Amino acid sequence: MKFEIEYIEQLAKVVSENDLTEITLEDAEKAIVIKREKQQIQVAAAPVAAAVPAVQSQPEEKAEEKEEAPKGTPVTSPMVGTYYSAPSPGAKPFVNIGSTVSAGQVVCIIEAMKLMNEIEAEVSGKVTKICVQDGQAVEYGQVLMYIE
C-alpha cells in the first residue's frame, strides 16, 4: 500500500475538522500517524483578560464604545491556520467592510497544513466588521468577521 500525499492531506483534514487528536494507519510495510496538539485556549485568553482593566480606566465615552458588542452573525474559523483575505497575493479581497454577501459565498481562506480551505458565509447580509488581518494566524473558533 502506498500512502499518496493527497490521501495524507485528506486524513489531516479529517483530523482537523472532527476535532481528533490522532489518527494511525498501518499496513504490512508502512505506517502513518497524524497527530494534532490540543489547543490551549486559556493561553490565548490571558492577554485579553489583562487588557480589560486598561479599557475600564479610560474615560467613560471611549469605554462605552469598546464595550459595545459587534452586530451581526460571527463567521468563525473552523480550524487553526493562517487567514487570507484574497485568493492570491495582490488579488482583490473576497470581501471588505460593507460588502454584501450571500450564504455560501467564499469570504476568506484559511491555510492549514499547506491546504487552502475556502470559508463560506453561513448567512446573507453585509460585512460589518473584519476582526483579523491578512496573513494572521487564527485559532479554532476565532471570530474572523461579522455579517449583519
**Across 29-97, where does the E strand assignment appear?**
31-35, 73-76, 81-84
pLDDT of residue 100: 93
Q: What is the mean pLDDT of residues 52-79?
A: 64
Contact, 128 vs 70, CB < 8 A?
A: yes
Which of 54-58, 74-78, 131-135, 142-146 has the least mean pLDDT? 54-58
pLDDT of 1 over the 60 cut = no
Q: Where are the domains of the chain?
A: 5-35, 69-147
pLDDT of residue 70: 74
**pLDDT class for 71, splitting at 50, 70, 90?**
confident
Query: How confident is the model over 28-51, as pLDDT tens digits?
Result: 666 777 777 654 333 333 334 444
- pTM of the predicted model as reported, rounded to 2 decimal places: 0.54
Cα 57–Cα 68–Cα 144 angle in degrees, nearest 5:
110
Under CATH, which number does the domain 69-147 receive? 2.40.50.100
More confident residue, 66 or 85: 85
